[in-house]
């Protein structure tokens, strides 16, 4: 499957998806660490992709989303942004609301 199709499928099939360096339990850069902490503090389940272990995704996701850096938070198929945007939204209380609305009902 074409890597752009793989990325598209990941984004479409996960309501909350974080492309990051490392994993939520072991982020491998400060920006990913701050972003994943903000997302986890909101209390919703989310999927993640480690771009360090997925070189094709790391190389092509910036073209797909027209966003050059990592991490990248996608919610309901829409790019929310990177560390600064996610952190700012978290501090304002906007991130929790966004993620609660996006999370599938249990």
CB atoms within 10 A of CB 48: 20
Q: Answer yes or no: is 70 a known binding residue.
A: yes
Q: How many domains does the chain have?
A: 1
Six-digit token string for 84: 């600064």
Split at pLDDT 50, 70, 90, the class of 1 is confident
Q: Answer yes or no: is 8 a known binding residue.
A: no
What is the spatial distance between Cα 73 and Cα 35, in angstroms, rounded to a whole number?
Answer: 8
Q: Residue 80 sits in a domain of what CATH number?
A: 3.40.30.10
49 Cβ contact list (under 8 Å, min separation 6): 10, 17, 18, 19, 20, 57
Residues 77-93 pLDDT 10s = 999 999 999 999 999 99
State which residues form the domain around 60: 3-102
Q: Answer yes or no: is 42 a known binding residue.
A: no
Q: Answer yes or no: is 46 a known binding residue.
A: no
Residues 15-51 pLDDT 10s = 999 999 999 999 999 999 999 999 999 999 999 999 9
Split at pLDDT 50, 70, 90, the class of 61 is very high
Residue 10 confidence (pLDDT): 98
Split at pLDDT 50, 70, 90, the class of 106 is low
Q: Answer yes or no: is 21 a known binding residue.
A: yes
Residue with tokens 């660490």: 33
């Amino acid at each position: 499957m074409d890597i752009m199709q793989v990325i598209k499928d990941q984004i479409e099939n996960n309501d909350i998806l974080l492309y990051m360096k490392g994993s939520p339990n072991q982020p491998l850069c400060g920006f990913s660490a701050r972003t994943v902490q903000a997302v986890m503090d909101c209390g919703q389940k989310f999927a993640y992709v480690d771009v360090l272990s997925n070189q094709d995704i790391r190389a092509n996701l910036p073209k797909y989303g027209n966003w050059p850096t990592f991490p990248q938070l996608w919610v309901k198929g829409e790019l929310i942004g990177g560390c600064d945007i996610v952190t700012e939204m978290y501090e304002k209380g906007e991130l929790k609301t966004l993620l609660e609305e996006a999370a599938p009902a249990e």
